[in-house]
Chains A and B, each alone.
Chain A
């Protein structure tokens, strides 16, 4: 089937290295952000979220950094594994939007041995 990763920027990472995936957002009122992982032919999976009162949040092997000044979000994956190969995208919303998120197109991460 057609890949959702078609025409997306690609990040090629060697197994064991750290990955950094970036996302720029435009709405300065956005106050809640989520990172998702999507494997080919599957639905997106929640990775980690962060609210605007924080600038860093850590999970298992993942860290999200939020820079509200420049409206930038990043996802860091430590010790990247082959199973991390997927499309990663960010989503943003503001409290007054009642759950209406804006989604980025995503970055295709390819883990090489």
Chain B
């Protein structure tokens, strides 16, 4: 079955540590997105990529970094510069930028 796989499901970060969240899709979608979800709030865009080897900052990119070396993969690194990283992180993809986004089941990141 086609879909988006995020791993791990739960992740813990120590102070000063960078952590990387994985996102893989086998939908052959060009566009991929990373969102942060906090309780009681709408999704906020961190980074997005419309094509391989290209990505753009979203509304809350500070303290995060991404890469898009392969069409199917869009990993997100939460750096030590992100002072409030505790959240639910969602990866999505879409076949066209003005179309429905398909989401993974998220990674919940917490601070140790």
Query: Which of A's residues lie within 8 Å of B, judged by CB?
Result: 1-8, 32, 34, 36, 41-46, 49, 89, 91, 93, 95, 98-106
Contact = CB atoms under 8 A, between A and B. Distances in A.
B45 interface: yes
Given A43-B90, A91-B43, 10 more contacts: A2-B88, A44-B90, A49-B100, A89-B42, A99-B33, A99-B94, A100-B45, A100-B48, A100-B58, A101-B101
A106 B48 CA distance: 22
Interface residues of B, number: 31
Interface of B: 4, 6, 31, 33, 35, 37, 39-45, 48, 50, 58, 88, 90, 92, 94, 97-106, 108
A89 B31 CA distance: 21
A36 B98 CA distance: 15
30 contacts: A2-B88, A3-B39, A4-B37, A4-B88, A5-B39, A6-B40, A7-B39, A7-B40, A8-B40, A34-B100, A42-B106, A43-B4, A43-B6, A43-B90, A43-B103, A44-B90, A45-B103, A46-B100, A46-B101, A49-B99, A89-B42, A91-B43, A98-B50, A98-B97, A99-B50, A99-B98, A100-B58, A103-B44, A105-B40, A105-B42
Which secondary structure dominates chain B's binding surface?
Answer: strand
B65 to A, nearest CB: 19
Nearest to B56: A98
Contacts of B6: 43
A39 to B, nearest CB: 10
A4 B42 CA distance: 9
B54 to A, nearest CB: 12
Nearest to B103: A43
Contacts of B97: 98-99
B34 to A, nearest CB: 12
B103 A95 contact: no
Contact of A99 (B39, B48, B90): B48
B21 to A, nearest CB: 13
A3 B31 CA distance: 28
A99 B31 contact: yes
